[in-house]
Amino acid sequence: MDTASANDFDIRDYLRVELLPHFMCPGCGHGIALRALLWAVHDLKLAKDRLAIVSGIGCSGRVGAYIDANTFHVTHGRPLAFATGLALARPDLEVIVITGDGDCLAIGGNHLIHACRRNLHLTCLMFNNEIYGMTGGQVSPTTADDRLTTTTPYGNAEPSFDACALAAAAGASFVGRGMTLQTVALKNLIRDAISHRGFSFVEVISDCTEIFGRKNDLGSSPEMILRQKGSMKPDTYGNVVDRPFRPNAVQTGVLARNDRPEYGDAYRAAVLGAAGAAVAG
């Protein structure tokens, strides 16, 4: 555990404190995820002026506004598209996308798979709370079987996505999963994802306590976050409980990683290089 880093990390150095109190419900996992991100930014000593946060629409997307950086709150499902333009035009910026399970996998699914394939240097953090939190708790592409939501009043019959498997299959060169239960591990994972040169996808297991938790009688927020433990399958110790909160035990940590060429570098080397030679010749 990075105690040194924990000691000199003060989240207020990275927040627009004048905006507090924030909008999130008590116990919402998104705040913990935000803290892990800012802690990782601190560890990496990233300059706030060079940091660009692009977020989508949802409770997850609203988190971006609290960060003391260049923050862009765009349209529902499209943050990866905006971030692609921004990162290609401004390779000097560190561009981080914050998105939700609905934002990223439903309306933004096509952008996700192509961002993975392109492998542009971006970090995509998907806050997965298994629900459309912002709109009042409708079913999402990651809602587990049988769960009650406001649009699955009889239980969910649709199978859910494994976002990490999807991202890895589509070619993301860094794929990882962390949970708000383990903030240090999550912080380290996000730190490694940002450091990785290429497209990094991190699924953050988060909780919508107020809507999803209540609807499914999952208890208070401490109870909900402790349930994450029951569903995880960490690399270090393989404790899988009988009835996990999520349908299958989920693996955490770095799940896929490779060094294939980063798109911006490849474009600049191959295309700009060739065009430059053509101009000179």
Ligand X SMILES: Cc1ncc(C[n+]2csc(CCOP(=O)(O)OP(=O)(O)O)c2C)c(N)n1
* Three-state secondary structure of the chain: CCHHHHHHCCHHHHECHHHCCCCCCCCCHHHHHHHHHHHHHHHCCCCHHHEEEEECCCHHHHHHHHECCEEEECCCCCHHHHHHHHHHHCCCCEEEEEEEHHHHHHHCHHHHHHHHHHCCCEEEEEEECCEECCCCCEECCCCCCCCCECCECCCCCCCCCCHHHHHHHHCCCEEEEEECCCHHHHHHHHHHHHHCCCEEEEEEECCCHHHHHHHCCCCCHHHHHHHHHHHEECCCCCCCCCCCCCCCCEECEEEEECCCCCHHHHHHHHHHHHHHHHHHC
203 DSSP β-pair partners: 126, 177
Which region among 66-74, 199-207, 213-221, 250-258 touches other proteins (by CB under 8 A)?
Answer: 66-74
Q: Are 80 and 108 contacting, i.e. CB atoms less than 8 angstroms apart?
A: yes
CA angle at 163 for the pair 103 and 160, rounded to the nearest 5°: 85
Nearer of residues 77 and 244 to ligand X, judged by Cβ: 77
Cβ proximity to ligand X, 115 vs 254, nearer residue: 115
Q: Assess 101 for contact with ligand X (CB under 6 A).
A: yes
Binding at 209: pick from ligand X, ligand SF4, Mg ion, none (beta carbon under 5-8 Å per type): ligand SF4
- Candidates 53-61, 66-74, 144-152, 190-198: pick the segment binding ligand X (CB under 6 A): 53-61
Binding track over 68-87 against other proteins, x by CB under 8 A: xxxxxxxx--x-xxxxxxxx
Q: How far is the CB of 55 from other proteins (least distance, A)?
A: 9
**Which of ligand SF4, ligand X, other proteins, none interacts with 267 (beta carbon under 5 to 8 A by kind)?**
other proteins
Q: Which is nearer to ligand X, 161 or 174 (CB)?
A: 161
CB of 216 to ligand X, least distance (A): 15
CB of 51 to other proteins, least distance (A): 9
- The distance from CA 42 to its chain's CA centroid, rounded to whole angstroms, is 17
Interface positions, 133-162, toward ligand X (CB under 6 A): 133-135, 140
| Residue 89 interface partner, choices ligand SF4, ligand X, other proteins, none, CB cut-off 5-8 Å depending on type | other proteins
25 binds, among ligand X, other proteins, ligand SF4, none (CB under 5 to 8 A by kind): ligand SF4
Backbone angles phi, psi at 8, to 5 degrees: -95, 10
Q: Which residues bind ligand SF4 (CB under 6 A)?
A: 24-25, 28, 30, 59, 129, 133-134, 208-211
Q: Which residues bind ligand X (CB under 6 A)?
A: 57-60, 76, 100-103, 127, 129, 131-135, 140
Q: Which residues bind other proteins (CB under 8 A)?
A: 16, 19, 48-50, 52, 54, 65, 68-75, 78, 80-90, 92-93, 110-111, 114, 267, 271-272, 274-276, 278-279
